[in-house]
Amino acid sequence: MRRTQRAWTAILLSPGLGLLLAFVVAPIALTAWISLHEWSMFTPLGDWTFVGFDNYRELADSRTFRIALRNTLLYAGLSLLAIVPLALGLGMLLFGGMGRASTALRAIVFVPYMIPTIAVAIIWGYLYSPLYGPLNQLLRIVGLPRQAWLGSVDTAMLSLVILNVWQTVGYYTVLVIAGLTQIPTVYYEAATIDGANALQRIWHVTLPLLRRTLLFVVVIAIINTVQVFEPVYVLTQGGPANATNVLSFQIYKSAFEFGLAGQASAMAFVLFLVLAAAVVVVMRLLRDPTAGSA
């Protein structure tokens, strides 16, 4: 009986595991292998030269790579600082504080996430226009000076973060709402009987029981933000003065503009390691303290 169960388990899992190996594990392994070679994208796959860790040594000495890595971490950090509190606040507001309008507002908030990022970037490029953009027109109406937005080293990265938050916060809000639906109301009733006010119920009931949902939100947000590419490609091309040059865009330039597949693969693998490390750290920080004793 046990052998039959194991056989059926292997048969049922094999399609999913096969897809995982083919489209996740194999590309990662191939990227790691290419990063150890000097190879041009304009030549056949076999025309490469093994160079060991030379590509990684060059990255360590590359100022452009360090700037791209710093910008990637800055973009991800600013996005998370805005997305997580907004998603949590909007989720709690739409879950229990808007009455009949809650369902319609949930749909409205989620709509921007369904729009292709290229289209969103084009629209926001118009909004950020330094001469005729609506944002600068509003600033002029209230007596504030115009901003260069995407054309200034000081505001270009922040402008991309605002675009990302506007487009994606609705998705994370829906995730928070889904987590809130899993919290039994008896906990709130018990807290109310014990004399807890609204803030105390949020702090002692909602947030602890929403820990796993928030962990998922943070992990998915990290994965999405460190892979930012379309807004940079459409709006800034990494400028001005490399202020928005992130790793994904630098990888694209190295591979498809300069043909440096080995260096591009090394950067991609470093990005993968940074992402994996960030996810592990977040999971350890936000893990359920009762999980280990369960």
> How many other CB atoms are found less than 10 A from the CB of residue 106?
19
Paired tokens of 189: 């009733």
Instruction: Say what the pLDDT of residue 77 is.
Output: 94
Q: List, in order, residues 6 or more apart from 179 with CB less than 8 Å away.
A: 91, 210, 212, 213, 214
Domains of the chain and CATH, by start: 1-26 (no CATH), 35-285 (1.10.3720.10)
Give the bridge partners for 40, in sequence order: 260
Query: If you write DSSP's letter for every residue of 186-245 in order, what string do you get?
Result: HHHHHHHHTT--HHHHIIIIIHHHTHHHHHHHHHHHHHHHHT--HHIIIIITT-STTTT-
Least confident residue range of 101-110, 150-159, 185-194, 252-261 = 101-110
Instruction: Say what the pLDDT of residue 131 is.
Output: 82
**pTM (predicted TM-score):** 0.90
Instruction: Say what the pLDDT of residue 99 is.
Output: 64
Instruction: Say what the pLDDT of residue 288 is.
Output: 64
Q: Are 55 and 260 in contact (CB under 8 A)?
A: no
172 vs 110: CA distance, rounded Å: 9
Query: If you write DSSP's letter for every residue of 160-184 in order, what string do you get?
Result: HHHHHHHHHHHHHHHHHHHHHTTS-
Q: What are 18-63's pLDDT values in tens digits?
A: 998 998 899 889 899 999 999 888 888 778 889 999 999 999 999 9
